[in-house]
Chain A
Amino acid sequence: MQSALSLSFSPTSLPLANRPLCSSNAAPSSTPRNLRFCGLRREAFGFSPSKQLTSCLFQIQSRRIEVSAAASSSAGNGAPSKSFDYDLIIIGAGVGGHGAALHAVEKGLKTAIIEGDVVGGTCVNRGCVPSKALLAVSGRMRELQNEHHMKAFGLQVSAAGYDRQGVADHASNLATKIRNNLTNSMKALGVDILTGFGAVLGPQKVKYGDNIITGKDIIIATGSVPFVPKGIEVDGKTVITSDHALKLESVPDWIAIVGSGYIGLEFSDVYTALGSEVTFIEALDQLMPGFDPEISKLAQRVLINPRKIDYHTGVFASKITPAKDGKPVMIELIDAKTKEPKDTLEVDAALIATGRAPFTNGLGLENINVVTQRGFIPVDERMRVIDGNGKLVPHLYCIGDANGKMMLAHAASAQGISVVEQVTGRDHVLNHLSIPAACFTHPEISMVGLTEPQAREKAEKEGFKVSIAKTSFKANTKALAENEGEGLAKMIYRPDNGEILGVHIFGLHAADLIHEASNAIALGTRIQDIKLAVHAHPTLSEVVDELFKAAKVDSPASVTAQSVKVAV
């Protein structure tokens, strides 16, 4: 029903007979029916997520459809308002800036985007995109090397091997292709792509290179760079960050990965599949902090214990020296709490995956009295920049990694679109709890909303009950057909009203499965309603279906959910 509505109102729907009927998804509904998220759904969920290494492929494809549509309906870049060069200036052409730019043009704003490096930012060039290419290879290698797995299918495969350069080329080719798509999509819409490092000169005034331009509103979307703790000497050969690792210039026999978050985990998947042995160094007492504890425990059993991986937890790498003078890479470990020396490791390479630092230096923030916090630009819930006195800086917004709210490519894009909504006269607050995240290991991990401990804490404070539903991939026909029964889906919900608080999935294609849950959270759909929806059999989506059906909710289904139209 909704889709039909937005289709008929969509300005882009006119000449497109061959457009796939994913209208509610692809049509940027110009009808603000569903107040908050209507226009945002696609951006928030189109991406397959993972902290920084996120695939934007899905979104970009859907964009391309839209781009051609928009171009053919001659909706170009808007005319500037009288007193400014542009309506909107975006500093940084990563995924966040790109998302904002496209939405701005659609809203009729004259838009410029400033980029000092390459279009696409971290995600496309040094993050989600190339890492997905490597993970696609590692998944296949893993499968082909798993004799037992192959035998269970009745397949015989002689020794699987790989050509490192070929794998590396696949990653760089993919990044190039996606970068070109991104650039072309903006060019086609008439977004001015300005080259140079952007800096804020004053209110509504931006400098890039030697040029100064003015804009009615300004979005900072400068993103982040890999964070390297002090004491660690990165030489780009044996001590590397994800920037280097994605080029896959070598596959070391033994690599230490500092940090066991999304980035570290994904690289451990790649490296072990290509034959490396891995040692994790984690400052916290547990590997994979940040995941739901139950999920991380299971993930450890599947992704760490059976592989050629060991780990040191509760330690910092206080000093890392690259390999030189015939010596291996030396890593000094100290206790995370007492700071006492614990151990010294000798490995062939070290990958620093300790998170990412905002890239906000040289932005001219001092000109507008903005003080960063650990480099992050403080913003309110509407992404409006807050200055040193706690006041909002008018017409200045910051989205994406630079504000540190949620360092995910698709979160940045969603924030950018939220800002464009606001500057074009529609108030909007993005619900970050509806933004899914994923880690593209084999199998994948995905999540949305709260973890169980977070939910329990919240329940305690607010005085409601929390229930948990779980389903196993072992009970799913499709998963068993693939011989991939290892996996768990878990939902945290309120039994009194059926609200979904969080969903965590570990298993085959978990990253694709999470969106049913994240959409439900974004739209406020309750379990008692969604459990009546039908899933094709046999598909992996039944894992999530089972989850909804396993929940015990006290409220009855709402009436509207039953009014299912029969389409023949």
Chain B
Amino acid sequence: MAVSSSSFLSTTSLTNSKSNISFASSVSPSLRSVVFRSSIPATSHRRSMTVRSKIREIFMPALSSTMTEGKIVSWIKTEGEKLAKGESVVVVESDKADMDVETFYDGYLAAIVVGEGETAPVGAAIGLLAETEAEIEEAKTKAASKSSSSVVEAVVPSPPPVTSSPAPAISQPAPVTAVADGPRKTVATPYAKKLAKQHKVDIGSIAGTGPFGRITASDVETAAGIAPSKSSVAPPPPPPTPVAAKATTTTTNLPPLLPDSSIVPFTAMQSAVSKNMIESLSVPTFRVGYPVNTDALDALYEKVKPKGVTMTALLAKAAGMALAQHPVVNASCKDGKSFSYNSNINIAVAVAINGGLITPVLQDADKLDLYLLSQKWKELVGKARSKQLQPHEYNSGTFTLSNLGMFGVDRFDAILPPGQGAIMAVGASKPTVVADKDGFFSVKNTMLVNVTADHRIVYGADLAAFLQTFAKIIENPDSLTL
């Protein structure tokens, strides 16, 4: 669905800008978005195998980048009516405007799945288009079965904002007689509900920490794994200590400014960093360091480098594989009362970009192969530089990697980003004299890694075991290429 909806983004941004300008004395809806897909390769729900029926779904288009659902304002055509390519079929109301949706194919409007005034999520089928008159009946049957099966949830007017009928905004079974009786109902603030919808978080699964146990916006943000920040570029970045030290000291007595000093207000990104850093102070963290021999890794790197593999990808992959064996290090504690094992291993990697810091996320780092990971990484860095990262591309991390080795830093200490269980600080790999157990000295490339973790959920032994696994993977890196 993500794919199909995003493919419409380009058309819609065009129509969007058009929509608001076209005002004429007559009703001239000049906005077209073409939203059809054949029913055969239906993305999520598989249709019956009666091949080649030329029945197409008309689905809810994404009319703006923020649109998650749309309301059918009116059907311009009725069931059974003939449609010519380019004709308007239905008027859809998005969060921004009403737009006409036109057909891409000739045919007949066989069935209306979502009626006027009802709401459907982006991508859900709202009607069926039959190619010939003969197929109308078939399409109708299909529509009937559809509305009794999976799509029906999609069609039910979804709860909050768009309530045309007197449907209550919260459709929880509200305790009618006595409020105190029975299980307490979910109380969420308006913004919390909006955010939950936006980030597709089930509001019922969140424990509220606000006054009277209500769910606040920050509860939803925490549950969604995003740093509570309004900024659109809100990285939870792990900069080295000096930043944090600065951030904390500024809250206390300020010494007078030296003459000729200038005050520079924080940029959005800096404010976000500052906020996150202050927030990190509420988490009890500890650190465990570990030396890792990188001779084998360096050899591997030389081999795969021509294929476009970067050191970042190697380290992320290794960390991902180690995390898979130690899920507690990939867990997060958000409310201080419980913690959650994250279902994916998403490695956020800190990147310095001009005047700031952002953490693009390599999703499923344990599962993707090295080459895909490298490719993905290049793409993310490119986007980060041009400030094109989508929120899920910088705020979905479950573990962070910060590497300052390229500057010759031998070891450092990272600050744990809020909402994550651990962060790894990687130093430079340097030739080091080591003595083996027999007392022989040799020179080996050694890199110091230092992991900062949330001691509420990750204990010393957990971290040590994780590091041991990590070191083993790095020292025998063949598994990385599998």
Contact = CB atoms under 8 A, between A and B. Distances in A.
Interface of A: 147-148, 156-159, 253-254, 277-279, 285, 301, 305-306, 308-315, 327-328, 330, 333, 335-337, 341-346, 348, 467-472, 474-475, 488, 550-552
B441 to A, nearest CB: 56
Interface in B145-182: 160-161, 163-166, 168-170, 174-176, 179
29 contacts: A156-B267, A158-B266, A254-B189, A254-B190, A254-B214, A308-B189, A310-B160, A310-B169, A310-B190, A310-B193, A314-B166, A315-B168, A327-B212, A328-B211, A330-B179, A333-B168, A337-B166, A342-B166, A343-B169, A343-B170, A344-B179, A344-B185, A345-B187, A346-B187, A348-B211, A468-B25, A470-B23, A470-B24, A472-B21
B25 A469 contact: yes
B21 A313 contact: no
Contacts of B190: 254, 277-279, 308-310
B40 interface: no
B10 interface: no
Interface of B: 20-21, 23-25, 95-97, 160-161, 163-166, 168-170, 174-176, 179, 185, 187, 189-191, 193-194, 210-212, 214, 217, 230-232, 265-268, 271
A453 B175 CA distance: 40
A182 to B, nearest CB: 39
B158 to A, nearest CB: 13
A328 B174 CA distance: 17
B21 A474 contact: yes
Contact of A147 (B161, B164, B194, B231): B231
Contacts of A315: 166, 168
The secondary-structure label for the interface of chain A is strand
A159 B211 contact: no
A157 B230 CA distance: 15
- Of the listed residues A148, A157, A278, A344, the one surrounded by the most CB atoms of chain B closer than 10 A to its CB is A344
Across the A-B interface, give the 3 residue pairs with the lowest CB-CB distance, nearest first.
A314-B166, A158-B265, A310-B190
Given A147-B268, A344-B179, A472-B21, A312 B174 contact: no
A469 B164 CA distance: 27
Given A310-B193, A469-B25, A475-B21, A328 B212 contact: yes
B23 A336 contact: no
Contacts of B168: 312, 315, 333, 342-343
A488 B23 contact: yes
B265 A305 contact: no
A327 B190 CA distance: 19
Nearest to A148: B232
A519 to B, nearest CB: 23
- Of the listed residues A156, A488, A552, the one surrounded by the most CB atoms of chain B closer than 10 A to its CB is A156
- Of the listed residues A279, A285, A310, the one surrounded by the most CB atoms of chain B closer than 10 A to its CB is A310
Given A147-B268, A306-B95, A312-B169, 11 more contacts: A147-B230, A147-B231, A156-B265, A158-B266, A279-B190, A301-B95, A327-B212, A335-B166, A468-B25, A470-B24, A550-B24
A145 to B, nearest CB: 8
A206 to B, nearest CB: 48
A269 B160 CA distance: 20
A309 B192 CA distance: 10
Nearest to A341: B176
A474 B20 contact: yes
Nearest to B195: A308
B187 A551 contact: no
Nearest to B93: A297
Contacts of B271: 158-159
Contacts of B194: 308, 310
A342 B194 CA distance: 21
A328 B232 CA distance: 33
A472 B211 contact: no
Contact of B191 (A277, A344, A345): A277
- Of the listed residues B166, B176, B212, the one surrounded by the most CB atoms of chain A closer than 10 A to its CB is B166
A551 B166 contact: no
Contact of B23 (A254, A314, A341, A471): A471
A281 to B, nearest CB: 10
A470 B212 contact: no
Nearest to A342: B168
A16 B24 CA distance: 48
Contact of B166 (A285, A330, A467, A472): A285
Given A314-B166, A344-B179, A253 B189 contact: yes
Given A253-B211, A310-B169, A335-B166, A343 B174 contact: yes
B318 to A, nearest CB: 38
Nearest to A156: B265
A25 B97 CA distance: 40
A308 B191 contact: yes
Nearest to A489: B23
Contacts of B24: 470, 550
A169 to B, nearest CB: 27
A256 to B, nearest CB: 10
A309 B169 CA distance: 12
A253 B190 CA distance: 11
A546 B461 CA distance: 74
B122 to A, nearest CB: 16
Contacts of B267: 156
- Of the listed residues B174, B189, B190, B217, the one surrounded by the most CB atoms of chain A closer than 10 A to its CB is B190
A274 to B, nearest CB: 14
Contacts of A342: 166, 168, 174
Contacts of A312: 163, 168-169
Given A346-B212, A472-B23, A277 B266 contact: no
A349 to B, nearest CB: 12
A551 B194 CA distance: 40
Nearest to B170: A343
A470 B21 CA distance: 10
Contact of B161 (A159, A311, A346, A470): A311
A550 B25 contact: yes
A283 B448 CA distance: 66
Contacts of A285: 164-166
